[in-house]
């Protein structure tokens, strides 16, 4: 019998290696559950979960909703674009109104860094961060690490390169924390303008040359260029970015060893990776999506267990 | 003062498992349409032992044997201090229209078996479900559940504790009871 060391999942920074291990072991069993003829368990039948998405999402929203439904929770969905937020309601008011309807857990995505932590201090519900600005996206990092563990076994000593727009990426930050806690080595690679200035202080290697990064790593996690978050131009043209940092089949097959290719989605085919890499045998992209449901089920199950 | 006394020693333990096997053979003949499923975490040792012994007695190989975890189907989720960490379920066969023998070590309140029956239904609709336990703690049920095959019946009160040790994990086979009520001795 055991529990996570936290009451909310706000970021990977707040949890420890034991928590991650417990989440993975629980996710292993949920992965078996979602491959059964009947994919549902009654664990959260007396739990109500609100999915609050103040920012667009396809995969994360569907994955959380499916995970909640597979656990038999009652689910309500909320999208900021179609709500009273556009009439000027504050975040705390919106959430407290939803909680007044007796909601136990809140899964939230928000464009501002720290929104989930802020909420956890002001409302009485278990909060799961589904992405807050360019800060953290903990369940994505967990499912990425879970997928690597499934493919390569132990993460200890494993070399992971995160390539692309590191500056605007919450996936990169959560992945760095998660992989380091599991004993993996992390390198970030991208144009110098898209690498945060002090990132080496997190203990990651920095490499500006894609080929060198790929030769070093066992796993390459290719990130999307987040044009919607870029207020100024960070590189001369998308064409130049593709030429310097795009991963294509020719580069992948020219490497001295086979590496695993990952992508958190959504993919911009032909920019960070080409279609033939996305659909390559070395690509884990669809396994990541499948594992996402199992990992989110584990997170919700373990957090819900401590709600009284 | 709590006291501990033995209910089954290694020899009696072995006889009991053999006797349970013969009872199964009487009802299930060649096990053509029967599967044996041990409940995690400790029922799997009894189900494993039963399968091995059946193979020795009957010579039949390939009696279907699985492990079932009931954690997600329990009725005490959020009523405990911490959630239980689940164990692995492994059922690599179809249970639709099969006779299923659910196996656990100790039957007490019946709540685990209730959860086990729920969990089982996620794998299809069995023809019939029977229950085998090594120890039946009589008169302590919270639900209307009775075993079909029983190793030993014991009368206990709520403060008593019955423990089954298995060679596989505890070095020896033994069943003993820890009681605070020494009149029981």
pLDDT band at B183, cuts 50/70/90? low
Chain A positions touching B82 (Cβ under 8 A) are 1-3, 305-306
Task: List the beta bridge partners of residue B11.
Answer: none
Specify the pLDDT at position B92. 87
Please tell me whether residue B67 adopts helix, strand or coil conformation: strand
Asked if the Cβ–Cβ distance from A42 to B73 is below 8 Å, we say yes
Model confidence at A2: pLDDT above 70: no
Surface-to-core class of residue A114, CB atoms within 10 Å of its CB (0-12 exposed, 13-18 middle, 19+ buried) = middle
More confidently predicted of A285 and B78: A285
**Do A269 and A178 share a domain, yes or no?**
yes
Q: Does residue A18 lie within any of the structural domains? A: yes
What percentage of chain A carries pLDDT values higher than 90?
A: 77
Residue A196 lies in a domain: yes
* Cβ B57 vs Cβ B21: under 8 Å: yes
- Does A61 share its domain with A164? no
The verdict on A200 touching B (C-beta cutoff 8 Å) is no
Q: Is residue A178 located within the same domain as residue A49?
A: no
What tens digit of pLDDT does each residue of B95-119 get? Answer: 999 999 999 999 999 999 999 999 9
Are A258 and A128 part of one and the same domain?
A: no
Q: Is A29 on the interface with B (CB under 8 A)?
A: yes
What separation in angstroms does the CA of B88 have from each of A26, A31, B5, B40? 9, 10, 33, 8
Segment A21-30 shows an average pLDDT of 94
pLDDT value of residue A278: 93
* Distance from C-alpha of A16 to C-alpha of B63, rounded to nearest angstrom: 43
> Stretch A88-109: mean pLDDT, rounded?
88
Of A3, A26, A36, the CB nearest to B82: A3
* A1 part of a folded domain: no
Q: How does residue A1 score in pLDDT terms, banded at 50, 70 and 90?
A: very low
- Give the number of domains in chain A: 2
A-chain CB neighbours of B118 within 8 Å are 42
C-alpha separations of B103 from B12, B67, B68, B113 in Å: 19, 9, 10, 9
Strand, helix or coil at B53?
Answer: helix
Please tell me the class of the B11-74+84-156 domain: alpha beta
Whether A279 and A152 share a structural domain: yes
Q: Please tell me the distance from the alpha carbon of residue B12 to that of residue A305, in angstroms, as a whole number.
A: 41
pLDDT at A132: 94
Q: What chain B residue is nearest to A302 in terms of C-alpha separation?
A: B83
CB nearest to B84's CB, from A1, A37, A47: A1
Domain span holding position A98: 12-137+289-304
A175 touches chain B (CB under 8 A): no
pLDDT at B17 over 90: yes
Q: Is the pLDDT of residue A303 over 70?
A: yes
A47 interface with B at CB cutoff 8 Å: yes
Q: Does residue A82 carry a pLDDT above 90?
A: no
Judged by a CB distance cut-off of 8 A, whether residue A42 touches chain B is: yes
Residues of A in contact with B68 (CB under 8 A): none
Average pLDDT of the residues of chain A? 92
Same domain, A266 and A149: yes
* Residues A161, A132 within the same domain: no
Contact B78 A304 (CB under 8 A): yes
A160, A259: one domain: yes
- E strand intervals along B28-181: 34-39, 64-68, 99-107, 128-138, 149-155, 161-165, 174-179
Average pLDDT of the residues of chain B: 90
Distance CA A301, CA A42 (A): 11
- Decide if A18 touches B, using CB distance below 8 A: no
Domain assignment of residue A5, yes or no: no
| Interface contact flag, B81 A1, Cβ < 8 Å | yes
**A29 found inside a domain:** yes
Regarding whether A118 and A150 lie in a shared domain, the answer is: no
**What backbone torsions phi and psi does residue A295 show, to the nearest 5 degrees?**
-65, -40
| Inter-chain touch A37–B124, beta carbons under 8 Å | yes
Say what the pLDDT of residue B105 is.
94
CA-CA distance, B1 to A232, in Å (whole number)?
76
Percent of chain A with pLDDT over 70: 98
- CATH number for the domain spanning A19: value is 3.40.50.1370
Nearest CB neighbour to A26, from listed B80, B82, B85: B85
pLDDT at B34: 94
């Amino acid at each position: 019998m055991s529990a996570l060391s936290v009451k909310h999942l706000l970021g990977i920074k707040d949890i420890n290696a034991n928590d991650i291990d417990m989440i993975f072991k629980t996710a292993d069993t949920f992965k078996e559950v979602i491959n059964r003829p009947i994919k549902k368990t009654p664990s959260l039948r007396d739990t109500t979960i609100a999915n609050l998405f103040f920012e667009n999402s396809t995969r994360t929203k569907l994955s959380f909703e499916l995970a909640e439904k597979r656990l038999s929770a009652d689910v309500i969905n909320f999208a900021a674009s179609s709500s009273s937020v556009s009439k000027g309601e504050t975040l705390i008011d919106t959430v407290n109104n939803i909680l007044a309807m007796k909601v136990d857990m809140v899964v939230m995505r928000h464009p501002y860094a720290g929104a989930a932590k802020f909420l956890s201090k002001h409302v009485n519900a278990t909060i799961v961060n589904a992405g807050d600005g360019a800060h953290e996206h903990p369940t994505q990092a967990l499912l990425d690490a879970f997928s690597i563990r499934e493919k390569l076994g132990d993460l200890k000593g494993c070399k992971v390169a995160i390539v692309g727009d590191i500056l605007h990426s919450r996936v990169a930050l959560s992945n760095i924390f998660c992989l380091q806690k599991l004993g993996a080595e992390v390198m970030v690679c991208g144009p110098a303008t898209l690498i945060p200035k002090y990132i080496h202080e997190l203990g990651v290697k920095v490499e500006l040359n894609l080929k060198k990064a790929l030769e070093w790593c066992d796993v390459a996690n290719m990130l999307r260029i987040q044009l919607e978050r870029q207020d100024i131009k960070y590189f001369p043209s998308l064409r130049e970015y593709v030429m310097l940092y795009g991963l294509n089949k020719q580069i992948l097959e020219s490497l001295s060893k086979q590496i695993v290719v990952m992508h958190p989605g959504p993919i911009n085919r032909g920019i960070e990776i080409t279609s033939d890499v996305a659909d390559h045998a070395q690509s884990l992209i669809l396994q990541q999506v499948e594992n996402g449901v199992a990992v989110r089920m584990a997170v919700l199950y373990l957090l819900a267990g401590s709600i009284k | 003062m709590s006291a501990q006394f033995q209910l089954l020693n290694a020899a009696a333990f072995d006889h009991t498992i053999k006797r349970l096997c013969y009872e199964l053979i009487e009802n299930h003949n060649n096990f053509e349409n029967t599967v044996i499923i041990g409940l995690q975490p400790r029922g799997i040792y009894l189900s494993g032992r039963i399968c091995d012994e059946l193979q020795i007695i009957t010579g039949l190989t390939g009696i279907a044997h699985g492990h079932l975890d009931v954690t997600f189907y329990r009725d005490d989720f959020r009523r405990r201090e911490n959630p239980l960490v689940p164990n692995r379920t492994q059922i690599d066969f179809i249970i639709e229209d099969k006779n299923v023998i659910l196996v656990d070590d100790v039957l007490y309140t019946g709540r685990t078996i209730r959860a086990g029956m729920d969990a089982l239904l996620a794998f299809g609709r069995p023809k019939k479900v029977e229950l085998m336990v090594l120890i039946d703690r009589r008169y302590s049920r919270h639900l209307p559940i009775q075993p079909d095959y029983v190793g030993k019946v014991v009368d206990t009160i709520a403060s008593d504790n019955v423990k089954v040790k298995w060679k596989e994990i505890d070095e020896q086979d033994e069943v003993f009871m820890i009681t605070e009520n020494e009149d029981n001795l």
